[in-house]
Chain A
Amino acid sequence: MGAAGATAAAFTIVPRHVLGGPGNTPPSEKLNIAGIGVGGRGSGVLQGVESQNIVALCDVDTERAAQAFKRHPDAKIYRDFRRMLDKEEKNIDAVTVATPDHVHAPASMMAIKMGKHVYCEKPLAHSIYEARMLTEAAREHKVATQFGTQGQASEGNRLICEYIWDGAIGPVREVHVWVDRPLSKGQDFYWAQGVGRPAETPPVPETLEWDLWLGPAPERPYNPIYCPFTWRGWLDFGTGALGDMGCHSFDPIFRALKLGYPSSVEATSTLLNDETFPVASIVRYEFGARGDMPPVKLTWYDGGLKPARPEELDEGRRMRPEGILFIGDKGKLLNERLIPESRMKEYGKPPEVLPRSPGHFEEWINACKGGEPARANFDWAGPMTEVVLLGNVALRRELREKLTETKLYWDGPNMSCTNVPEANEYLRREYRKGWTL
């Protein structure tokens, strides 16, 4: 890490070909890929890699996974990824993981330890500790990894970096980033937050293996309030709007501003409870200087909250439900456009200094076959996920009282909160019997 101070250093990526590693499939051959969690987003991930051989599919919910099963009739079908990996170890080169958040780490870790390449959805893990362990294990086992932030492969992501590195808005000391999840005005309801645990215990659908769905999480009775999809709001399974969308939104910010671990975090929100994330929150991170970049404050808003509309935004242009606003000493960048529009027109495009992506999934497939590491490999995704999840630590109900009296100061390299020791209890969670990292 650079001399800029450990807690603010950017994360560097060691190319795969330098590392060597497990038997790489030659580019001319197809990979044998197994899918873990293949309904919903998982089916989209599989489609992204279906140019390869899809040899096995695993899902705890046969109804949710039915489309994927049908699309790949030759793939062997499993409900328990542990059994699949045990039985199919020899036939699998790589896995895609698109389970609920609480299963990301155990599934990814088992595959990594077997030397399988891993594509894992965001956030990389459910806890900071898991993210750190996965990052280290992937490096140790020299597997090719990629993280489900497909936006990183976009032109816009690169333009943001190039505008900022070209000095288009001067040094950046303030960034605001917002999403409207878990709720969205005028659109469908995403999922519930700020609610308590239901008392009803309806029967488990025949198509669902509830115990496997729970995986490493503490046992609780089935209720359709948790799955599919709506697990995102529950502390035991999801990581809230921040965990869901933060990894997407933070990606261009972390790249453009070369962010590493923050020096402190502060969170404020609607009412907290022990079951679900709050209806809305604001999380404020502070990062130290990086090289010649000054310290920067990054503020996250969810649940419909947003920063103030910048004066430079032309009349008639709206603040979209999701966005990133970079505030530099010499200008402002809203997503990938300088504002006002006259400034954008005057500036034109910055010099193209970043290579463009062959495609998010292609990056990973190439890496599995011995090519360059994918751009969102775990050396990148792990630390960024940790920062996202640190916001959720600051949002713990148990810490709220204590955190009215101070910010949470963070020692990233040592993965430790330095001023509120109680916070360190929420960096890691216990697994249910039969589940390991």
Chain B
Amino acid sequence: MQANKRNITKKPSAMSRRDFIGGAAGVAAFTIVPRHVLGGPGYSTPSEKLNIAGIGVGGKGAGDIGAVEGENIVALCDVDDKQGGKTFEKYPGAKRYRDFRKMLEKEKNIDAVVIATPDHVHAPASMMAIKMGKHVYCEKPLTHSVYEARMLTEAAREHKVATQMGNQGHSSEDIRLICEWIWDGAIGPVREVHAWTDRPGGRWAQGVERPEGSSPVPTTLDWDLWLGPAPYRPYVEKAYCPFVWRGWWDFGTGALGDMACHIIDPVFWALKLGYPTSVRAVSTEVNSETAPVSSIVEYEFGARGDMPPVKLTWYDGGLMPTRPAELEKGRRMGSANGGALFVGDKGKLMCGCYAKNPRLIPETAMQAYQRPPKTIPRVEEHHQDWIQACKGGTPASSNFDYAGPLTETVLLGNLAIRTGMKLDWDGPNMKCTNVPEANEFVRREYRAGWTL
């Protein structure tokens, strides 16, 4: 295949497992090879319980652990005793750690890990677990950099572990309906999609500079471990953690990284997108510390099979696309947190955040539509989909073969935001071909003691 010849990543053999749709390199879709075909590390049988460790167990991590607590929660790791406190109390039998590296080294009985750290720690934690043959559930975005996403995707494939990214909308009925309707030709060929979120919208700061000075580090927090692979900087109360790290380039990936893995997910799946051919962005003031207050990112994808080239426009910070004329007065665009609008040659389809409540618009088009048979297998629940994969079942629906390229695409938007240029992108080679300085943002250096 053309794509294979052009691939110069570290593990070219891995590419041979990819089944590229269509001949167009750089826009190929990624298919999923069932776990049972791959074989791999020792699987628990469906009747046995997995031994699961949590890395980052406060906030969203607490929810993720709760969703898999039908298994054995054997170890919990958090750099912040206070954030992790409730989870520690809830699972008194689990061993407690602050440093995931130590935990993974010491605990020999772990089958699988659930990772819900800040973005900048996703990849080092996931990679260490994968290399040890552990199954991995990792929150979205899969990683902090494009390079990390590529490496994790390849490593998960090589080590044959069961993976799932925390874009839980991927397990919904709604996202499957969207795919089935688009594939059925409900709105004809799609050449244009708009997707948006109101975040950060005051939930965390973007467009701000680094605060001066420092605050005493709370005794409950191991600041050095919180920083992990990121460059050292002094702790400042309320500036970075908990939660508000999302806006800072060293730790988070902005509103785009936070929400696009959810909101673009139905677009990526339904339109069988692979790597974009170009990406460009406009935004409010850009600085080297935080993501801008608001941005618009435009991705171009080439043709895929019989699907025509498509332009995907992302809006964040509260910006939204033009209200479609087909949307009746009184109906809101999307849902809380955002939405997506597919513009086809023969109609339009709108959904909310997490692919929620898809409708052809206007509503008369929805009512007139003869829905196609449901051909995509349904899954019960996102975390449990991963659990069954860990036990030798079919790959979870948002495993890293899917989630990796999705995350890469999302993160490319940040490259465009940071350079302010239209970037021509060579996906297979993970390289911007026209703006060399953009390639500096593809990968980042880790602090001493941290590796991928």
Q: Is the CB of A280 within 8 A of B332?
A: no
Q: Among B283, B286, B315, B331, find the residue whose CB has the most chain A CB atoms closer than 10 A.
A: B283
Inter-subunit contact B280/A303 (CB<8 Å): no
User: B285, B293, B329, B330: which contacts A185 (Cβ < 8 A)?
Assistant: B285
- Asked if A183 meets B285 with Cβ closer than 8 Å, knowing A279-B207, A308-B298, the reply is yes
A-B contact pairs, 29 of them (CB 8 A): A185-B285, A194-B293, A266-B322, A266-B323, A268-B318, A269-B294, A269-B318, A269-B319, A270-B293, A270-B294, A270-B318, A270-B319, A271-B202, A272-B318, A278-B318, A279-B284, A279-B317, A301-B282, A303-B285, A304-B283, A304-B284, A305-B294, A305-B319, A308-B280, A405-B329, A405-B331, A406-B323, A407-B323, A419-B329
Q: CA–CA, A266 to B333, complex, Å?
A: 13
B109 to chain A, nearest CB (A): 48
Chain B residues with Cβ below 8 Å from A308 are 280, 298
Q: Contacts of A279 on B, CB cut-off 8 Å?
A: 207, 284, 293-294, 317
Q: Which residue of A lies closest to B319 (CB)?
A: A268
Contact between chains at A270 and B284 (CB < 8 Å): yes
Task: Let me know if B319 and A280 touch, CB within 8 A.
Answer: yes
- Asked if A16 is an interface residue, CB under 8 A from chain B, the answer is no
B418 at the interface (CB under 8 A from A): no
Confirm or deny: B296 has a beta carbon within 8 angstroms of a beta carbon on chain A: yes
Looking across the interface, which residue of chain B has its beta carbon closest to that of A273? Answer: B202
CB distance from A173 to the nearest CB of B (A): 14
Q: Which residues of B contact A306 (CB under 8 A)?
A: 282
Q: How far is the CB of A181 from chain B (nearest CB, A)?
A: 11
* Cβ contacts under 8 Å, A404 to chain B: 332-333
* Whole-angstrom distance between the Cβ of A61 and the nearest chain B Cβ: 29
Contact with A along B273-297 (1 / 0, CB 8 A): 0000000101111100000111010
Interface residue A232 (Cβ < 8 Å from any Cβ of B): no
Contact B280 A280 (CB under 8 A): no
- Is B190 part of the contact surface with A, judged by Cβ < 8 Å? no
**What residue of chain A has the Cβ atom nearest to residue B329's Cβ?**
A406
- CB A283 to nearest CB in B, in angstroms, measures 11
Whether B318 pairs with A304 at a CB distance below 8 angstroms is no
Place the interface of chain A in its size category. Answer: 20 to 34
- The smallest C-beta distance from B47 to any residue of chain A, in angstroms, reads 50
A284 interface contact, C-beta 8 A = yes
Known pairs A284-B322, A304-B292, A305-B319; A406 contacts B283 (CB<8 A)? no
Residue B422 at the chain A interface, CB threshold 8 Å: yes
**B347 adjacent to chain A (CB < 8 Å):** no
Query: Please, which residue of chain A has its CB at the minimum distance from the CB of B296?
Result: A305
Q: Looking at B318, B330, B331, B333, which has the most chain A CB atoms within 10 Å of its CB?
A: B318
| Cα–Cα distance between A165 and B410 once the two chains are bound (Å) | 44
Closest A-B pairs by Cβ, 9 of them: A268-B320, A304-B284, A406-B329, A183-B285, A404-B332, A306-B282, A280-B284, A279-B293, A270-B294
Minimum CB–CB distance for A242 against chain B, Å = 15
Name the A residues within 8 Å of B286 (CB-CB): 185, 304
Contacts of B333 in A (CB 8 A): 404
The answer to whether A280 touches B330, judged by C-beta atoms less than 8 angstroms apart, is: no
Q: How far is the CA of A269 from the CA of B282 in the complex (A)?
A: 14
Closest B residue to A281 by CB, please name it. Answer: B319
Q: Confirm or deny: B40 has a beta carbon within 8 angstroms of a beta carbon on chain A.
A: no
Instruction: Please name all residues of chain B whose beta carbon is closer than 8 Å to the beta carbon of A194 when the two chains form the complex.
Output: 293
Q: Which of A183, A309, A405, A407 makes the CB contact (< 8 A) with B332?
A: A405
User: Are A405 and B283 touching (Cβ within 8 A)?
Assistant: no
Q: Is B201 an interface residue (CB 8 A)?
A: yes
Chain B contacts of A185 at CB under 8 A? 285-286, 420
User: Which residues 382-409 of A have a CB within 8 angstroms of B?
Assistant: 404-407
Contacts of A278 in B (CB 8 A): 318
The docked-state distance in angstroms from the alpha carbon of A278 to that of B318 is 10
Residue of B nearest to A194 (CB): B293
Closest to B330 in A: A405
In the bound complex, CA of A272 to CA of B320 (Å): 14
Roughly how many angstroms separate A305 CA and B286 CA in the complex, as a whole number?
Answer: 11
The verdict on A172 contacting chain B, using a C-beta distance below 8 Å, is no
